[in-house]
Chain A
């Protein structure tokens, strides 16, 4: 058993994939923190579904499976979806959740229409386009990991660079505006970063599950601290560990898909945090409640004794 694990850890493919999913987890943990705190966690879900037609149209235009161009198409579609969702939910009476659901399903439907049309066209080069729906981490190559690492570093640098702006904008957008920060620029930058993170994860984790990577680590991290910087670091670490562990577990046996396994690992961290966080966890809350109850009973009893 141990031999097997050592063998696996030394395996080149495993190392590449684990590193790739680990980076991805780290990145989405950090970027997802903003989305979660701004209560826009489901935006990621809608945007990832909305990226599908972008991939299809990009393929139709270039007729090749050139990853960077497909991802560019996905990004344009994602940004267009963001725009539609924001106009719908802000300029009229339409609620955010309705806008999200509508954009999510109609973009995804359009994506399926285009992908099916491509598949009905005899063209050997289209193989593997449907992998974007579920992702295929095991197919990750060295250059994919490099792409994630490079783009990820740029995004992380942007977070550090615009730390003050993002922070004030996340917690108090009104105050940010009175201070003279342009909310439009900050918001566009932030949603572009979220879209890019999603796009990077499309190939390995897939359209449907990438949103879980954005939400999970930050929700778990939120339970352990009240400081944004610390929360972001914890979320990054949890994301990284989840990516590596998910890849590890799915490599242990045949036919365990990587993306869903990573999601299960992330959810495990979330539930551990929700239950066992020392300050605000469910158990801590429960014990604090019991303690208050006992103290209250004691007071009542001492009052009764005093009377008698």
Chain B
């Protein structure tokens, strides 16, 4: 397989894997929590790396995922004190965790093969160099396999708990009343978000992951009102964005992950403006029509 095919495959799998939990993040309005998670898993990666001394260890992934879930817990604990607003709680926790991670990395930079830039920015272009060799057979880029496993986990979670996810997303109170636990579903979703962020960090870096999670679902949300269509559209958009992004990045000789994030932002903004259902143009036309209607009513009322 050629280099660009392998890179495109990794990028597509990463994009789809991120878009799946992203659908529910967008609908629940908790995308900034996922932004916090993608920053704080860095602390998990660093701490786990100090213990395992191996960036490929599965324990590193598990440890980092736990820190991600811990972030959610810490943010919610702060929010429950009611001493600060919900978004301030996010803004307090994640820079703190992130700063500790940066201090640790910088402090022990000499004896740690862990590069801040690499973790933050990531680079899909290196993915084909890290091979997955099983029993002497070369099975392709390691990142592809890691992300495929996470993709299957994400799909299984959504498939198995579709009803629960849907119910707790749209009507948490009713869900709790009929016996589904919104808290359990919430933490399940957040665990997957953490795991996805950890899995994706060496391909796309921890800051851009959130764009991969939010962009396609947000665009899909602007196009449809049905959940399963939104999921399908998100997947399609994720694939299109990453394929176009990889091609553009190769043409311009620049960072692939950054390019995909840029393309994602561009397509989402385009759909935001043009969407026939909930787009900006449609919304302003609607508003104008409403105003005219009111004007007419007022005039009629004045006549009579």
Interface positions of A (Cβ within 8 A of B): 36, 39-42, 44-45, 49, 84, 87-88, 91-95, 97-98, 100-114, 116-117, 120, 130, 133-134, 208-209, 211-212, 214-216, 219, 222-223, 255-257, 259-261, 263-264, 267, 270, 274, 277, 280-282, 285
Contacts and interface: CB of A to CB of B under 8 A. Distances in A.
25 contacts: A36-B84, A36-B85, A39-B85, A41-B85, A91-B284, A94-B218, A94-B222, A97-B32, A101-B31, A103-B265, A105-B207, A106-B211, A108-B208, A109-B208, A111-B258, A113-B249, A114-B254, A117-B253, A133-B120, A208-B98, A212-B95, A256-B103, A260-B102, A263-B98, A263-B99
A277 B30 CA distance: 29
B91 A215 contact: yes
A105 B261 CA distance: 7
A267 B96 contact: yes
Contact of A106 (B81, B90, B261): B261
Interface in B226-262: 249, 252-255, 257-262
Q: Closest 6 CB pairs between A and B?
A: A106-B265, A109-B261, A105-B211, A212-B95, A112-B258, A260-B99
B92 A117 contact: no
A114 B261 CA distance: 13
B215 interface: yes
B279 A98 contact: no
A98 B214 contact: yes
Contact of A257 (B29, B106, B269): B106
A25 to B, nearest CB: 14
Interface string B90-114: 1110011011101100110100000
B278 interface: yes
B91 A130 contact: no
Nearest to B261: A109
A92 B283 contact: yes
Contact of A108 (B34, B91, B207): B207
B262 A113 contact: yes
Contacts of A105: 207-212, 214-215, 261, 264-265
B218 A106 contact: no
A255 B107 contact: yes
Contact of A264 (B88, B99, B106, B211): B99
B102 A219 contact: no
A92 B211 contact: no
A214 B95 CA distance: 11
B85 A264 contact: no
Interface string B63-96: 0000000000000001001011111101110011
Contacts of B265: 102-103, 105-107, 109-110
Contacts of B269: 84, 106
A134 B31 contact: no
A51 B95 CA distance: 18
A41 B208 CA distance: 20
A263 B83 CA distance: 20
A107 B207 CA distance: 11
A116 B121 CA distance: 11
B92 A267 contact: yes
A98 B33 CA distance: 11
Contact of B268 (A41, A92, A106, A255): A106
B175 interface: no
A101 B283 contact: no
A118 to B, nearest CB: 9
Given A109-B257, A255-B106, 16 more contacts: A39-B87, A49-B207, A91-B284, A93-B278, A95-B26, A98-B29, A101-B31, A102-B268, A108-B208, A108-B211, A109-B261, A112-B258, A212-B99, A222-B84, A255-B107, A267-B95
